[in-house]
Amino acid sequence: MLVTLEGLDGSGKTTVWEALHDTYPDATFTREPTESWYGEAVDRAIADGDADPLAELFLFIADHADHLSRVVRPALADGDLVISDRYSDSRYAYQGATLEGEVKRPMEYIRGVHQPFTYPPDVTIYLDVDPRTAMQRSGATNKFEQSKYLTQVRQNYEQLMEWQPERFVRIDATQSPEGVLDDVEDVFERILDGE
């Protein structure tokens, strides 16, 4: 089973992902961008304020393709629980926002590029936080962490949840980190019990 964590920067998803290591020590924990050289190329694009948005999208997608073949698919084939801090929805939401006005219907376009080869998550936990709180928490350290941009990213996540309500679980991430973690652990208990 593949469970992904999504949300704005500062939603606390990395903290949750780290805490889950103790609860599910046998799971495969992974993240996007990855630590491979593709992931390093992605980090360079993130740090470059002038990166071409379409070129950047395809770097993220290259990293995803490598992540799938090297980590996600082998772990799933072994029957592992795979927990990923960010995954395809980050592209749909974030690059969906950077490509606004560059290509027609950017979210549909990016989903269309993924569709033939990606492995869709079984469950996606969305840590919902408003852009203001997200920015205060993350310290707005990279080009994606700007208010107007994050407002669009959040709208894109809302659109994704509207399209596929059965895949998403929304959690209020404005509460305390302990509260968020409790809610996330409840979700894991329910999904692992097969509910």
Binding residues, as ranges, are: 7-14
Nearer to ligand TYD, 146 or 192 (CB): 146
Q: What is the chain's percent helix, strand, coil content, to nearest 5?
A: 55, 15, 30
DSSP state of 143: T
Nearer to ligand TYD, 95 or 124 (CB): 95
- Is the distance from CB of 5 to CB of 157 less than 8 angstroms? no
Binding site for ligand TYD (CB under 6 A): 9, 14, 32-33, 46, 60, 86, 90-91, 94-95, 142, 144
Rounded to whole angstroms, what are the CA distances from 169 to 32, 103, 114, 130, 135? 20, 29, 22, 17, 22
Nearer to ligand TYD, 132 or 190 (CB): 132
Tokens of 79: 């029957």
Nearer to ligand TYD, 144 or 194 (CB): 144
Cα–Cα distance measured from residue 133 to residue 129, given in angstroms and rounded to the nearest whole number: 7
- Tell me the binding residues for ATP: 7-14
Q: How far is the CB of 165 from ligand TYD (least distance, A)?
A: 22
Q: Is the peptide bond before 33 cis (omega within 30 degrees of 0)?
A: yes
Nearer to ligand TYD, 23 or 142 (CB): 142
Which amino acid is it at 22? D
Q: How far is the CB of 153 from ligand TYD (least distance, A)?
A: 8
- Is the distance from CB of 106 to CB of 93 less than 8 angstroms? no
Q: How many residues does the chain have?
A: 195
Q: How far is the CB of 63 from ligand TYD (least distance, A)?
A: 8
Quote the strand ranges of 32-167, DSSP E. Answer: 82-85, 123-128
Q: Which residue is nearest to ligand TYD (CB)?
A: 94
Q: How far is the CB of 93 from ligand TYD (least distance, A)?
A: 8
Which amino acid is it at 163? W
